[in-house]
Structure 1
Amino acid sequence: MTVTTGYSPFGLHRVLEPSGDAVTLPQAAYRLDASPQLAPDEVRVDVEVLNLDAASYRQLREKHTGPTGHVHGHGIRSDVLEIVEDRGKMQNPVTGSGGMLIGTVAEVGPESPLGLAVGDRIATLVSLSLTPLVITDRLTRWDGMSERVPTSGHAILFGRSIAARLPEDLEPDLALMVMDVCGAPALVQKVVRGYAERGAAPTVAVLGGAGKSGSLSLAAAREAGAGRRIAVVPTEAEAGLLRGTDLADEVVVADARSPIALERGVRAAGGPADVTVVCVDVPGCEQPAIMATAQGGTVVYFSMATSFAAAALGAEGLAADVTMLVGNGYTPGHAELALSLIRTDDTVRRLFESRLGPDHTGQA
């Protein structure tokens, strides 16, 4: 069934709360209409897997970790189910973030501009925080112990949504992880190329360099013409994943929330950085990242744990002449770039595949 009146390519017609003159865009809305009937430019997707964003999952996991360190997965599962049932979308009320999903296109409205067809297996490249979503299986196949959530239900894409067909040469779960963070390397590439076009080979520091977005950002910086690449990680175990690879020239073990430790570590590794990329999923890295960045440099905040008030006020308080960029998750060609990096960089691919668990075969 197709709804033919009062629809918006931005999904305004799906906003239930607030309503009337106070209506907002779907991401800012409290509650969405996730009914399966489509507007002419919408697409309905049968959901297979949700991928919760790192900041959201970390918050839920910390909330449900007991005093002895035991994680109560059933509590995480209950929270996610309650959020989706209450809000008509997966948007963590604490972090404001969501994630993305894999699914199969079930119905395409006659005016959809997305170029999708019934039967296409896709990954959404827009946040679950603005995607109408219904879960029908009570999350019975998920133990709450990972960001990956196998489930059944449906989701709605608007006329201005973004989605990509899953590549045939990569395992779907691997492709999902890559697409979940594909905005980071694309923006880093764009920033570093800007320096290179001015004849500079910038020093790039990536906080969280062994993570998903961090490792892709290091690879993108290398390809875009960075001079020195510094990876900052919290533990020696993570440092061991990067040492001896061509992703980073230097690996620094430091707490990215510690201004002194981070600034000293980056400086000792050849900094301060011309470009600092924040890819960690914990709050408190705003001012340390600024301190690790040279005057006239650029800080890219690619974490939903970032307080942008703390970043702005911190730069002012430090008299720091830095450009601060918000990683918004979308740069033209971002999925293609990230998938290309995972195909061609063995180190990045191994880091991603190690997150898939012991049953992963590495085959598409």
Structure 2
Amino acid sequence: MGLGDRYGLHRVVEPIGVLPQPAWKLDATPICHDNELLLDVERLNIDSASFVQLKQEAAGDSEQVKEKILQIVSERGKMHNPVTGSGGMLLGRVLEKGTHFPGSQLQCGDTIATLVSLTLTPLQLDQIDEVDMNTGQIAVRGKAILFASGPYARLPHDLPERVALAALDVCGAPAQTARWVRAGQTVAVLGAGGKSGLLSLYHAKKQAGLRGRVLALEAHSTACREIAELDLADEVLHVDATDPVAVLQAVHDATAGELADITINCVNVADTELSSILATRTGGAVYFFSTAVRFTAASLGAEGVGKDVHLLIGNGYAQGHAQLALNTLRQHQGLLHLFRRRYGVADGVNPR
């Protein structure tokens, strides 16, 4: 088929000349160029912010969610939610490997998770078999293309596929948390009860150490209880992250007015920018992992309240992030048990 562009420019249909992620439409024809990977797609993990929006638009009707996803993919050649601008990632088996695709160990038949967004992944869906309305994981039949520049992870044999996929979907958050948090710091995690929040809590506590303090902010009472039972935070604050006044008050009281040195935003709904900023001390940092964050609102919000804080954009890629996320589940059996329960996998069972 010949070499395609390393970054996928040859797959862009509209508008010509831009990279695949900002493009409106991609060519998802399932023909493998010499530096591409052709995948038989089995499961999508829709980005949390995107899935919340899709459920709200469909009024909780799973059939309407199916129709909307099929419509987006048909129109755009990729799963790129036009409202949230986000996508997710996928799990599939290698059907064909181009002769110039990097990765000498990868073989046809291997099951992998793509570690790049569905917003830049050429995707063709033939059918959606099932939508898990609680987790955003979708059983599908289709084909996808991975470019030469796209990282991926082989699925481990010791973890269930659905659990591993969930962790890999958000592996940038715990990796960046481990990178930024320092010993002795006070860390606030907003949206602490979701998968990215839980994994980030583990590494925040590990990095902050005995002299540090980790605050878990979560709106749902069940998730608050789960965090407390797993001992992932020094204090669990039951508060709505979309209420900046309530968040400020809760963090102020928990820290005797000192506020957080670093705040990790893992919330999957909009309008949490100012809450994150207000929870953070002057000179501190806010790491925005959530794709629901509007960075204009964050920038202008910090300016508007006169807060000199470092605003960090959530890069979903970090070297070693996939292995770190999977190892987190291996190291904390309570977290692994919770992920198994959420993704409908009985303990001791590793379905492939």
TM class, shorter-length: over 0.9
* Offset at residue 225 of structure 1 (A): 3.0
Q: Does 1:278 align with 2:265?
A: yes
Q: Does 1:125 align with 2:121?
A: no
| 1:68 paired residue number | none
| 1:174 paired residue number | 163
1:61-72 to 2 correspondences below 5 Å: 61-65=55-59, 71-72=60-61
Instruction: Name the TM-score, length of structure 1 as normaliser.
Output: 0.92
Match of 1:204 among 187, 200, 206: 187
1:49-60 to 2 correspondences below 5 Å: 49-60=43-54
| 1:12 paired residue number | 9
- Structure 1 residues 102 and 289, CA, compared in 2 at 3 Å: closer, same or farther? same
Matched residues in 2 for 1:102 and 1:189: separation? 26
Contact 2:186–2:208, Cα closer than 8 Å, also in 1: no
* Offset at residue 46 of structure 1 (A): 0.5
Instruction: Name the TM-score, length of structure 2 as normaliser.
Output: 0.95
Unpaired segments ≥5 residues, structure 1: 66-70
* Offset at residue 245 of structure 1 (A): 3.2
Q: Does 1:332 align with 2:315?
A: no
Q: Partner of 2:30: helix, strand, or coil?
A: coil
* Offset at residue 244 of structure 1 (A): 4.1
* Offset at residue 347 of structure 1 (A): 2.7
Amino acid aligned to 2:221 = E
Matched residues in 1 for 2:176 and 2:131: separation? 34
Matched residues in 1 for 2:346 and 2:175: separation? 27
| 1:145 paired residue number | 133
Match of 1:39 among 33, 46, 57: 33
* Offset at residue 363 of structure 1 (A): 2.1
Amino acid aligned to 2:340 = E
Match of 1:135 among 125, 134, 153: 125
Q: Partner of 1:26: helix, strand, or coil?
A: coil
Matched residues in 2 for 1:228 and 1:40: separation? 51
Aligned residue pairs total 344
Contact 2:91–2:112, Cα closer than 8 Å, also in 1: yes
Match of 1:262 among 229, 235, 247: 247
Q: Partner of 1:265: helix, strand, or coil?
A: helix
Instruction: Using the aligned pairs only, state the percent identity.
Output: 46
1:45-124 to 2 correspondences below 5 Å: 45-65=39-59, 71-115=60-104, 116-124=106-114
* Offset at residue 145 of structure 1 (A): 2.8
Amino acid aligned to 2:202 = A
Matched residues in 2 for 1:169 and 1:144: separation? 23
Instruction: Give every structure 1 segment of 4 or more consecutive aligned residues whose post-TM-superposition deviation is greater than 6 Å.
Output: none
| 1:302 paired residue number | 289
Q: Partner of 2:21: helix, strand, or coil?
A: coil
| 2:151 paired residue number | 162
* Offset at residue 127 of structure 1 (A): 0.5
| 1:3 paired residue number | 2
